Each structure stands twice: as structure tokens, then as C-alpha cells.
């Protein structure tokens, strides 16, 4: 008789897989990918090391899935901010602020997602993740050009990619484990500065300043 | 008697090491890091695979050294462009143009240096390389703020990091192996657009447009 997985076995398997993912994500949030060794993931998930490899082909695959899950949430929040009513420049400013504020609130996780040297599979996810933001920003740039708040003489695809690069790179230093922590006032100033910089790059001449 | 390396042996060893580096760099320039397998590096350097590992601890170490060497040249060219006489905004525009033009001239190499998913050791070099550009840009931003062509109400450290991120990310798409090639006219337009975007982000109100 062929092996048949019962619904109950399947549910238990799925629960273990999810527990491994959640544990890994918590470890990354507190110490970066570097803190999430398979031994530690197994221990804190209450499973054997071999069990981690039954659910994920390799540590890289596990990391890539954690990366995807964590960034989907971030991209969704930025997308929601862009879709608020109001002029395109306000929507873009709001979205950049959401990105930066969420990053500063979870600096270790944000640094892990944006810049931590990890693994080529994670780097591939990173390229896709940046592309996802760029596509969202591009829609808002196109809308803002139509509305007149953004310069018409720009390439929205290029400007949107540049915006993603600008905000991510501006945060790498302040988020890095080597940096001093940011108090509320410094964090607000940082967010204000980076949002203003990004907006000024794309704004129509004579457009309102932040 | 202890083993003693003669000057001639040392010179030969050094020449082999350099040949391995040069071969790897050529392979990266034509096909990215992905095209530079140790087997291929060995074959095209005319050495045994074991010899590659006698000169470099691992493929990651070899790649990191090739990365460092290739990027030192790029950083030097950008630094020279920043150090030309003339106002700071012209110097920054010139340097960004040099960066973009050199990248577009060697798109595979530039993509490999900026974005190719490779290895955590290369990622670490990448963080340092971006930091090196940011430090150069920061000096010019500080000078431009003093000269009055750049906004005084900006954080030069943040603006310079953002500039590095903006130009690098704007080029990732066009340089990617998946992209169509750029003809001369499209390349010029791309360079114009990205330089203008970066300059507008930091320029003082009423400053001259590109």
C-alpha cells in the first residue's frame, strides 16, 4: 500500500514548518541572519536539526523564505501608504516615511533585509524586493507627473529605482549594528531629511517644499 | 636546513597569483562572477585547480580580491572627477557622469560589482565600496554647501549615501543581463536623467538646472 499522509499528519507538518519560519524570523529580528544558525533555529523551534532540513532544502532556502515573508509585509505597508487619497507628492512622502519609520523601529531586521551580507539566494530576493518597491513608486511618479507635482522631464522608471536606492542606502549607515542607537529626535530628523531629499529629486520646479 | 624561498621563486609565485587574478577579472567582465568557476579560472590561467587554492584560500577570497581591485579603479576615477577645479555642483555632476558612463561601457562588470548575487564576502566588500564613494561625495557636498550651490539644510552624510544608492540602483535595471543593450543615444539620455535627478536632490533652491 502506498504511503498516504493523513490530514492530521499534514497539519502537524505544516505547523512545524511554520514554527521553524517564525523562530528564524525572530532570531533575524534580534541578531540578523548571522544569529540564525540551523542549530539555534532547531533548538528554539524544539525540533532536531535534521527536521529543519526535512522542511527546507538548505539554510539558504530557509533564509530566502524568511526574507520573502518579512519583505512582503514591508512592501504591503508602503503600497498602502501610496494608495491613500491626496496628491501624489504627499503619497510618496508618506510612503517613504512609513518605510523609514518601520526600518528604524526594527533596526536589526531592517539592516538584515537591506544590507546584511548573507547568501546569494537572499541577494536574489533582495533584487526582487527592490524591484517591487520601484514598481510601486513608479505608479505614483507617473500619477504625480500627470498631476503636475513631479517634473515631466524625468524617466519614471529610472527615478523610482533611484528613490529605492536612495532611501535604502541612506538608512544603511544609521541602521548598521556598528551605529549608535537613534533617539526619537534624531530618528525624526533622519526621516525628515531623507524624505525631503527624495521628494526634491523628483518634484516639479516651484513645487511645494516639505 | 629550513626551506628558503629564493627571489626567483617568489617572483614566479607572484606572477602566477597575478595571472589568476587577471584571468578571473576578465571572466567576470565578460560573464559576471557566475562565469568564473575555479575550473575555468585554472584552465584559462594555465594552472591546475589545486594551484588556484594554493594562492587563494577559497573562491570567495579570490572574488573578494578581484572585487577590491576592480572597484579601486572605479573609486579612483570618481575621486579624480570630484577633484577637478570649478564649483562643487559641476564636480558632482562630472563624477556621477564618470561613474555612469564607465558602468555603461562595461555593463557586465558593472552589474557584477553593483548587484550580482555572489557571496557574503563580496557583499562585505560592496558595503565598503559604497562607503568609499559616499565619503568622496560627502566632501564635495560639504564644499558645495559652503559655496552656496547645495542646500544648507541637509545632512551631507545622509545625502551622500543616498546619492550612491540612487545612482547604483538606477543603473541596476539597465545594466542587468536581462536588459536590452543601450545604444549611444539611450545611454546619453540615461546618464543625463540620473545625473540631473541626483543633482536636483541636493541643490539649493534657485540653483542652476542641469
Q: For A21-76, write each residue's pLDDT tens digit.
A: 999 999 999 999 999 999 999 999 999 999 999 999 999 999 999 999 999 999 99
* Burial profile B120-135: b = 16 or more Cβ within 10 angstroms, e = fewer: bbbbebbeebbebbbe
What is the C-alpha to C-alpha distance for residues A3 and B74, in angstroms, rounded to an integer? Answer: 60
* A150 three-state secondary structure: strand
The reported pLDDT for the residue numbered B2 is 63
Neighbours of A104 (CB within 10 A): 20
Residues A148-170, mean pLDDT to the nearest whole number: 97
What is the C-alpha to C-alpha distance for residues A64 and A30, in angstroms, rounded to an integer? Answer: 17
Dmax (CA) for chain B in angstroms is 76
In B, which residues are within 8 Å of A167 by CB distance? 162, 165
Residue in A161, A202, A205 nearest the CB of B170: A161
Contacts of A160 (CB under 8 A, 6+ apart): A133, A134, A135, A136, A137, A138, A141
The reported pLDDT for the residue numbered A181 is 80
Neighbours of A46 (CB within 10 A): 11
| A123 to B118: CB separation less than 8 angstroms, yes or no | yes
The answer to whether the Cα torsion of B129, A169, B27, B60 is positive or negative is: positive
In B, which residues are within 8 Å of A166 by CB distance? 162-163, 165-166, 169, 201
What percentage of chain A has pLDDT greater than the value 90? 88
**Main-chain phi, psi angles of A150, to 5 degrees:** -110, 150
The reported pLDDT for the residue numbered A4 is 78
Distance from CA of A88 to the nearest CA of B (A): 18
A to B CB pairs, distance under 8 Å: 133
Residue B150 DSSP class:
B
Nearest CA-CA partner of A62 in A15, A13, A113, A21: A21
Nearest CA-CA partner of A109 in A165, A56, A71: A71
- Second-level CATH architecture of A7-56: Orthogonal Bundle (1.10)
The reported pLDDT for the residue numbered A180 is 81
Q: Three-state secondary structure along A7-39? A: HHHHHHHHHHHHHHHHHHHHHHHHHCHHHCCHH
In B, which residues are within 8 Å of A151 by CB distance? 200
Please give the C-alpha separations between residue A103 and each of A78, A98, A111, B25, B54, in angstroms, as whole numbers: 12, 8, 8, 36, 43
| B123 to A127: CB separation less than 8 angstroms, yes or no | no
Contact A163, A202 (CB under 8 A): yes
Contact B151, B205 (CB under 8 A): yes
Residue of B nearest to A118 (CA): B120
Residue in B115, B158, B166 nearest the CB of A162: B166
- Second-level CATH architecture of A64-202: Orthogonal Bundle (1.10)
Q: How many CA atoms lie within 13 A of B44 on its CB side?
A: 17
Residue B179 contacts A, CB cutoff 8 Å: no
Helix A107-114 vs helix A120-147: crossing angle, to nearest 10: 100
Residue in B117, B203, B205 nearest the CB of A123: B117
Nearest CA-CA partner of B151 in A203, A129, A14: A203
**Main-chain phi, psi angles of B150, to 5 degrees:** -110, 150
Residue of B nearest to A160 (CA): B170
What is the C-alpha to C-alpha distance for residues B119 and B33, in angstroms, rounded to an integer? Answer: 10
Distance from CA of A158 to the nearest CA of B (A): 5
> Which tens digit of pLDDT belongs to each residue from B135-169?
999 999 999 999 999 999 999 999 999 999 999 99
Q: Does domain B1-56 have CATH number 2.60.120?
A: no
> Which tens digit of pLDDT belongs to each residue from A91-145?
999 999 999 999 999 999 999 999 999 999 999 999 999 999 999 999 999 999 9
| A155 to B205: CB separation less than 8 angstroms, yes or no | no
Distance from CA of A6 to the nearest CA of B (A): 40
Distance from CA of B175 to the nearest CA of A (A): 12
| B209 to A209: CB separation less than 8 angstroms, yes or no | no
Contact A203, B165 (CB under 8 A): no
Distance from CA of B178 to the nearest CA of A (A): 13
The reported pLDDT for the residue numbered B209 is 52
Helix B120-147 vs helix B59-82: crossing angle, to nearest 10: 10
* B203 three-state secondary structure: strand
Q: Where are the domains of chain A?
A: 7-56, 64-202
Residues A192-199, mean pLDDT to the nearest whole number: 97
B155 φ/ψ sector (left φ>0, alpha ψ -120 to 50, else beta): beta
| A154 to B197: CB separation less than 8 angstroms, yes or no | yes
In B, which residues are within 8 Å of A96 by CB distance? none
User: Angle at the Cα of B39 (from B37 to B43), degrees rounded to 5?
Assistant: 120
Q: Give contacts of A 108-147 with B, CB under 8 A.
A: 115, 117-124, 126-127, 130, 134
| B190 to A158: CB separation less than 8 angstroms, yes or no | yes
Reading chain B (210 residues) residue by residue, the pLDDT tens digits are 567 789 999 999 999 999 999 999 999 999 999 999 999 999 999 999 999 999 999 999 999 999 999 999 999 999 999 998 899 999 999 999 999 999 999 999 999 999 999 999 999 999 999 999 999 999 999 999 999 999 999 999 999 999 999 999 999 999 998 888 888 999 999 999 999 999 999 999 876 554
A127, A163, A201, A210: best mutation site toward chain B, by most B Cβ within 10 Å? A201
* A166 three-state secondary structure: helix
In A, which residues are within 8 Å of B209 by CB distance? 205
Please give the C-alpha separations between residue B205 and each of A107, A111, A206, B137, in angstroms, as whole numbers: 33, 33, 9, 20
Amino acid at each position: 500500500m502506498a504511503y498516504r499522509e493523513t490530514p492530521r499528519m499534514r497539519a502537524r507538518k505544516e505547523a512545524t514548518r511554520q514554527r521553524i519560519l517564525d523562530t528564524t524570523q525572530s532570531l533575524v529580528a534580534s541578531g540578523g541572519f548571522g544569529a540564525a544558525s540551523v542549530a539555534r533555529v532547531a533548538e528554539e523551534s524544539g525540533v532536531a536539526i535534521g527536521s529543519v532540513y526535512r522542511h527546507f532544502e538548505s539554510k539558504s532556502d530557509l533564509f530566502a523564505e524568511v526574507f520573502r515573508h518579512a519583505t512582503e509585509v514591508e512592501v504591503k505597508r508602503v503600497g498602502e501608504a501610496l494608495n491613500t487619497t491626496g496628491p501624489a507628492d504627499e503619497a510618496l512622502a508618506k510612503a517613504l516615511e512609513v518605510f523609514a519609520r518601520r526600518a528604524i523601529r526594527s533596526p536589526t531586521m531592517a539592516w538584515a533585509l537591506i544590507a546584511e551580507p548573507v547568501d546569494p539566494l537572499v541577494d536574489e530576493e533582495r533584487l526582487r524586493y527592490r524591484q517591487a518597491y520601484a514598481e510601486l513608486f513608479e505608479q505614483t511618479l507617473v500619477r504625480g507627473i500627470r498631476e503636475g507635482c513631479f517634473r515631466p522631464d524625468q524617466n519614471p522608471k529610472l527615478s523610482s529605482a533611484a528613490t529605492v536606492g536612495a532611501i535604502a542606502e541612506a538608512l544603511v549607515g544609521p541602521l548598521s549594528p556598528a551605529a549608535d542607537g537613534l533617539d526619537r529626535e534624531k530618528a525624526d530628523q533622519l526621516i525628515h531629511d531623507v524624505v525631503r531629499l527624495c521628494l526634491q529629486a523628483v518634484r516639479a520646479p516651484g513645487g511645494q517644499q516639505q
